[in-house]
């Protein structure tokens, strides 16, 4: 397929994918791939999942879109499910993760303005990724993706991840929020100390700051809880998610609790397409499969077993610095960059990703069988052993 009419934002693309089923994708030549990336953490239920396909089909026959000037039944149902599952109070729906994070940033800024802080300051982390809109790009802690787009939106500072003291040093009288990922994805699948989120919560409580958790990638069951913060005993003031929320149908969500849930008032924020009937119907079906059908728990068990196998098989391999991750979010940090590994994996009919230059990132669908998971492990081990 010619891509000449498209802006060159993704570099050269050699493969055209035409269909998917379960954890497998097929290209236009009929070649089948085992997908260990899920469309970058999107299709947690794999492809053509029956209840999601049915929900989309049935909703498309009745009402695909109506504006948010009206009540939308699937939107109300999805909001109730997410609030009950998360322990948060209110939700705003968008079309993507970047938009969900944009909503969180706007919410924090208005929270500050309502307190009389006219130049609000938000602390985020080095190696973070929060999106490609101007505000979320400004929040992102990766200079590479910012190149060419200066000046950034003012009001953000970046500190080392997993470093509470650095946050204390960066804070000012205008600091209003801390925004972090429970596990950094794009930054290299970086897992913080077990008490990191708990200490962040305490620091925010001590200073009256909002704790904003970006769970665009870690949410929707990827780590074994619906949200990764639910592995702790804390709640954030704001949590955002997207990616796996609609299993491929674009939708994002910004949830808030307590005082943060009352910040937005009519006219403060909105979206034409966010929370439309089609996207919400897909997300409701996805949520029920993940939670009610037990896929979230079984997927986490499979993922943790894969991580254990990687650690065992790479234990004495000098090419591997560290095996990281939780549930179906895992990274294998190598001692050198591996620019050809993605293509070499495709030659072995496996789809994966490399992030931060030297970290193999695996985000498989949560529906992987034990046999399919073993195939991923064996293939990745072989790929690493073949690196010269």
Binding-site residue numbers for pyridoxal 5'-phosphate are: 97-98, 129, 214-217, 272
Chain centroid to CA 385: 30
Q: Which residues are annotated as a binding site?
A: 97-98, 129, 132, 214-217, 271-272
Return d(Cα 309, Cα 378) in angstroms, integer.
10
Return d(Cα 258, Cα 241) in angstroms, integer.
18
DSSP reduced 3-state for 179:
strand
Structure tokens, 74? 């699937």
Structure tokens, 16? 């055209």
Residue 274 contacts by C-beta under 8 Å, 6 or more apart in sequence?
68, 92, 93, 94, 95, 99, 251, 252
User: How many Cα atoms are found within 13 Å in the side-chain-facing hemisphere of 21?
Assistant: 2
- Count of CB atoms situated within 10 Å of the CB of 5: 5
b (16+ CB within 10 A) / e for 169-208: ebbeeebbbbbbbbbbbbbbbbbbeeebbeebbebbeeee
Beta carbons of 183 and 158 less than 8 angstroms apart = no
Q: Give the pairing type, strands 353-355 and 359-362.
A: antiparallel
Structure tokens, 107? 């919410």
Return d(Cα 164, Cα 134) in angstroms, integer.
27
Q: Which residues are annotated as a binding site for N(2)-acetyl-L-ornithine?
A: 132, 271
Return d(Cα 280, Cα 89) in angstroms, integer.
18
- Any idea which residue has 């496996």 for tokens? 350
* DSSP category for residue 183: S
Please, what sign has the CA dihedral across residues 350, 353, 359, 362?
A: negative
Beta carbons of 287 and 247 less than 8 angstroms apart = no
User: At how many degrees (to 10) do helices 50-62 and 277-291 cross?
Assistant: 160
């Amino acid at each position: 397929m010619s891509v000449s009419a498209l802006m060159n934002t993704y570099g050269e693309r050699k493969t055209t994918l035409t269909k998917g089923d379960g954890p497998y994708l097929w290209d236009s030549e009929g070649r089948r791939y085992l997908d260990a990336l899920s469309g970058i953490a999107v299709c947690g239920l794999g492809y053509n999942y029956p209840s999601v396909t049915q929900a989309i089909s049935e909703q498309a026959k009745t009402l695909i879109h109506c504006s948010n000037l009206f009540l939308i039944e699937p939107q109300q149902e999805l909001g109730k499910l997410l609030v009950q599952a998360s322990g948060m109070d209110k939700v705003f729906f968008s079309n993507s993760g970047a938009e969900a994070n944009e909503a969180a940033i706007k919410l924090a800024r208005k929270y500050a303005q309502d307190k009389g802080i006219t130049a609000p300051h938000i602390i985020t982390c080095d190696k973070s990724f929060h999106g490609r809109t101007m505000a979320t790009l400004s929040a992102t802690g990766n200079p590479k993706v910012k190149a060419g787009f200066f000046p950034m939106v003012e009001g953000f500072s970046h500190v080392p991840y997993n470093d509470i003291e650095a946050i204390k040093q960066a804070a000012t009288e205008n600091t209003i929020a801390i925004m972090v990922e429970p596990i950094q994805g794009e930054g290299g699948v970086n897992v913080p100390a077990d008490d990191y989120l708990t200490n962040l919560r305490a620091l925010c409580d001590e200073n009256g700051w909002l704790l904003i958790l970006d769970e665009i990638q870690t949410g929707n069951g990827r780590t074994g809880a619906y949200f990764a913060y639910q592995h702790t005993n804390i709640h954030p003031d704001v949590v955002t998610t997207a990616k796996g929320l609609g299993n491929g149908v674009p939708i994002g969500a910004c949830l808030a609790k307590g005082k943060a849930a009352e910040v937005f008032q009519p006219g403060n924020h909105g979206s034409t397409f966010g929370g439309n009937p089609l996207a919400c119907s897909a997300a409701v079906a996805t949520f029920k499969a993940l939670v009610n059908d037990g896929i979230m728990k079984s997927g986490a068990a499979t993922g943790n077993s894969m991580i254990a196998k990687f650690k065992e098989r790479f234990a004495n391999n000098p090419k591997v610095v560290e095996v990281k991750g939780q549930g179906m979010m895992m990274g294998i940090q190598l001692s050198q960059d591996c620019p050809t590994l993605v293509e070499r994996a495709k030659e072995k009919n496996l789809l994966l990703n490399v992030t931060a230059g030297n970290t193999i990132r695996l985000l498989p669908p949560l529906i992987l069988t034990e046999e399919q998971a073993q195939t991923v492990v064996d293939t990745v081990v072989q790929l690493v052993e073949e690196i010269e």
